[in-house]
Amino acid sequence: MPTDTAPAAEEISYVDAIHHALGDAMRADESVMLMGQDIAGHGGAFKITRGYLEEFGASRVRNTPIAESGTIGIASGAALLGLRPVIEMQFADFITCGFNQTVNVAAKMFFRTGHPVPLVIRFPAGGGVGAGAFHSQNNESWFTQVPGLKVVAPAFAGDAYRLLRAAIADPNPVMYFEHKFLYRREKAVVDRGAPTPTRIEGGSQVLREGEDVTIVSYGWMTHRALEAAERLAEEGISAEVIDLPVLVPLGMDGILESVRRTSRAIVVHEATITSGFGAELAARIAEEAMDSLDAPIRRICYPDSPPPFHKGLEARRIPSVEGIVEGARALAAW
């Protein structure tokens, strides 16, 4: 019997949404299995897989050695043989040790053989907790330019649940970026009994309507964009906030529709500015909506530097609400 049954709809945290999505997927499909360092008895670095060794057994909840390349290679083979592995990177930064298996094996296998690789890699990413240069990166753009991979970055508990269920069902490898800062801070009512999608589809979400400037973001920074929009409203500036929970495949229609109406665009993300995903968004907006723009596209991002351990120094680098407000003010006055 399930160890954590719950009402169909209840308010849960972001971290619990991920926990429940894994458990519900495993109960629904015996081919789903979990892999990662210390995920069995310990429950993982963030206790997301707690209780699942007891419920599902050691054949479906597997501890792995500190060998990311081997883990991803084995999981890719398991996926080819009909299983649906979900790997937990203890931190997103550690994917560097498994990069070849991710981008040259899992991502390209369907193109080479015609066989799908239904693999999910979970990435606890992001800063805000003073974890330093090896545990705080936002490296989603490393994967957004790799054909064959899908990339998601949910900002809300509901999307965290929905997108993880969809990622597990999807026949393609999915890079699932979950933000550590949101784990126990963001809560929402999640309907676990609702039908879940069977694949990751692109698209955007208008979270707040506005007329003067469009702010596009994802992950933790979506919350800061919403807070900035509240403050801008007090100054008479109407900001439209768009969340982008799926980065690949990229859905631009809603963004372009908004920019054509507001004539101004700001892209906010926590990853470093140079070659970050915001550069791709800015390029697409410039290519497809240049005639509608009344001001330059602005990116508000992390500077090109490693994350420091010192929380005060880190806070100065992460895009702030005030920084977003200042950027919107400048564009509104252009």
Catalytic pick among 19, 20, 135, 223? 135
Which CATH number do you get for residue 323?
3.40.50.920
Q: Are 239 and 325 part of one and the same domain?
A: yes
Asked if 123 and 178 count as a contact pair (C-beta separation under 8 A), the reply is yes
Within-domain flag for 251: yes
Q: What is the pLDDT of residues 247-291, one digit of tens each?
A: 999 999 999 999 999 999 999 999 999 999 999 999 999 999 999
Q: Which domain, by its residues, includes 312?
A: 205-332
**131, pLDDT greater than 70:** yes
Q: What is the pLDDT of residues 35-53, one digit of tens each?
A: 999 999 999 999 999 999 9
Within-domain flag for 70: yes
- Among 160, 191, 222, where does a domain finish? 191
Beta bridge partners of 152: 176, 246
Q: Are 230 and 164 part of one and the same domain?
A: no
Within-domain flag for 5: no
Q: What is the pLDDT of residues 173-230, one digit of tens each?
A: 999 999 999 999 999 999 999 998 999 999 999 999 999 999 999 999 999 999 999 9
Q: Are 122 and 65 part of one and the same domain?
A: yes
Average pLDDT, the chain: 96
In this structure, the dihedral spanned by the alpha carbons of residues 227, 233, 239 and 244, taken in order and rounded to 10 degrees, is 20
Cα distance between residue 158 and residue 188, in whole Å: 6
Within-domain flag for 200: no
Instruction: Tell me the residue ranges of DSSP E strands in the chain.
Output: 9-13, 32-36, 61-63, 84-88, 120-125, 150-152, 174-179, 187-191, 205-208, 213-217, 239-243, 246-248, 265-272, 298-302
- Among 156, 191, 226, where does a domain finish? 191
Q: Are 169 and 231 part of one and the same domain?
A: no
Measured CA distances, 262 to 108, 210, 253, 297, 316 (Å): 39, 8, 14, 12, 29
What is the pLDDT confidence band of residue 7, given thresholds at 50, 70 and 90? low
Q: Are 63 and 162 part of one and the same domain?
A: yes
| Tokens describing residue 63 | 């501890």
Q: Are 170 and 268 part of one and the same domain?
A: no
What is the pLDDT confidence band of residue 3, given thresholds at 50, 70 and 90? very low
Question: Minimal CA–CA distance to 134: which of 317, 253, 306?
Answer: 306
Q: Are 324 and 289 part of one and the same domain?
A: yes
**6, pLDDT greater than 80:** no
124 contacts: CB under 8 Å, gap ≥ 6:
45, 46, 88, 89, 90, 91, 92, 178, 179, 180
Cα distance between residue 110 and residue 101, in whole Å: 14
Within-domain flag for 6: no
Asked if 14 and 189 count as a contact pair (C-beta separation under 8 A), the reply is no
Within-domain flag for 7: no
| Tokens describing residue 239 | 């900001």
Q: Provide the domain count of the chain.
A: 2
Helix (H), strand (E) counts: the chain: 12, 14
**1, pLDDT greater than 80:** no
Q: Are 301 and 169 part of one and the same domain?
A: no
What is the per-residue pLDDT for 2? 44
Q: Is 135 a catalytic residue?
A: yes
Q: Are 181 and 233 part of one and the same domain?
A: no
Q: Are 75 and 147 part of one and the same domain?
A: yes
Within-domain flag for 3: no
Within-domain flag for 40: yes
Q: Are 215 and 297 part of one and the same domain?
A: yes
Q: Are 186 and 224 part of one and the same domain?
A: no
What is the per-residue pLDDT for 8? 72
Q: What percent of the chain has pLDDT over 90?
A: 95
